[in-house]
Amino acid sequence: MSIIPDQLIATLKSREYGQLLEILKSSDLNQLLKTDQVIDLVVAIATVFQQCVQLLWSDNVNDKPSTFDDLICESCRLLRNSCAAGAMVQNRIIAFELGSYNMYDIINAILFSSEASRLSQKTRKMCWQYVANICVQNAGTQREIWSKCIASHLSQLNCVCDTENNRECTMILYNIFISEILCTIDVKQIVEILLQCIINGHDLQCNDFHQLFMEHLITKYRSIASVYDRLVPAEKRLYFIYYVADHMKAVRHDVISTPLLQFICKEFKKKSDCVLKTPSTVDTIHPKEVIALLEVIACATSDERYAFVLSSDTSLFINVGCLLRSIHEIGKRESAANIFTPVQKLNQLAPNSNEDCSIERDISYQLKSTLIRTLANLAYKNKENQDLAREMEFLIAVLDSTALDARNPLIKEWSILAIRNLCENNMENQEIIRQLTKVGDSKSDILKEFNLDLGSLRINPNE
């Protein structure tokens, strides 16, 4: 059954709401959208939509609220679907006015005001979908919806996943974002809203637009570094970097943008020394943020698609090596054990241990092995970095890290790989290895507990 615009309006005026609902439900919208009556049709449907909203919120109507709720839902469904006809129809819908009400007034009331409580959850979701569709591939409607509806209500969306229509809400924000009409401050607000979903631990599987949005930000949005630098508190920057690292760990992932990777390297170099300071001397820099930045860099060094960014960054190699050398020297101090001292007892990691079991929460956990992993990858077929490792004694720190350490899983394996990459086609580095002398088996409680007969390279102090 096709809707005749005049019939729709006449039925509305006669207050034959049951018949009106049947007309809306049984309409063949797809057929009518192909005719020249499409504009007349959407005007008629918009009339029904707006008038029923006003009637529902009026205290002088005797009809059941559910009647108007159903009419609003069905008329909104047709408006939502008609948006597929393109910008001409979208523009006509959004420009529609009825009396003193315009479409923006209705949208604001339904999406954000207390009046929305009069509508059923199904109808509210339909309205969100209608607003989302009206923003698809139309910069004009995106700009208007943003400025007249969404921007002033962002404070109500501290976490889009806390809304019952989280998918539709995220879709609206995404469509507005990709139109490139937003300034950096606007994007920052939206990114903070998206990050709050992650911080709050929401299951994002049901909100595919959240994933799509975040991936677009880190792979295609070239100004994301400016946004990241403005995120406060530090927790939001931390969770942003966690997300980037998780993205890069996926077997098949889109490459993060070059400006973002360059910025991450710059931030690491600028802040990395904070992990060596006592808590009282660390101001606003969050040590965990540095560890997260390092994890992203480590992931990038193992992916050849990022080689052109990292291979020429000599200062990054020096920074990573100096940090490794520093924590290695601190860990060797015999005066007192510290967070960088190798852990020789497995029961320190066991849940039932009476000793400190918080090791996996320490910033030092996996730090040294990640640094060595990064050095290993940055040294691969890179003569300049190989020579720097020898001249600045990074190679010595790697050689002295080949013993097992429960604080740094896989450190022995990463150290062996690093030695291999540091020595490949480099006779000077190979000569250092040749001069080493085994002075005994490594003394390690880990080896005893596993009953392993393994040796470890040791530097002969007499040579």
pLDDT at residue 403, as a whole number: 87
pLDDT at residue 438, as a whole number: 62
Handedness of CA 346, 350, 356, 360 (dihedral sign): positive
pLDDT at residue 352, as a whole number: 55
Q: C-alpha distances in angstroms, 75 versus 15, 62, 69, 241?
A: 15, 21, 10, 44
CB count within 10 Å of CB 34 equals 9
Token pair belonging to 249: 């760990």
Low-confidence ranges of the chain (pLDDT < 70): 1-2, 31-34, 59-63, 278-285, 334-336, 345-361, 437-463
Residue pair 420/460 in contact by the 8 Å Cβ criterion: no
pLDDT at residue 363, as a whole number: 84
pLDDT at residue 205, as a whole number: 85
Phi then psi for 205, rounded to 5 degrees?
Answer: -65, -35
pLDDT at residue 458, as a whole number: 38
pLDDT at residue 459, as a whole number: 38
pLDDT at residue 64, as a whole number: 78
Instruction: Report the alpha-carbon distance of residue 225 to residue 267 in Å, rounded.
Output: 10
For the chain, give every domain's residue range. 1-134
pLDDT at residue 457, as a whole number: 36
Place of tokens 């990459």: 421
Burial category of 456 from C-beta neighbours within 10 Å (exposed 0-12, middle 13-18, buried 19 and up): buried
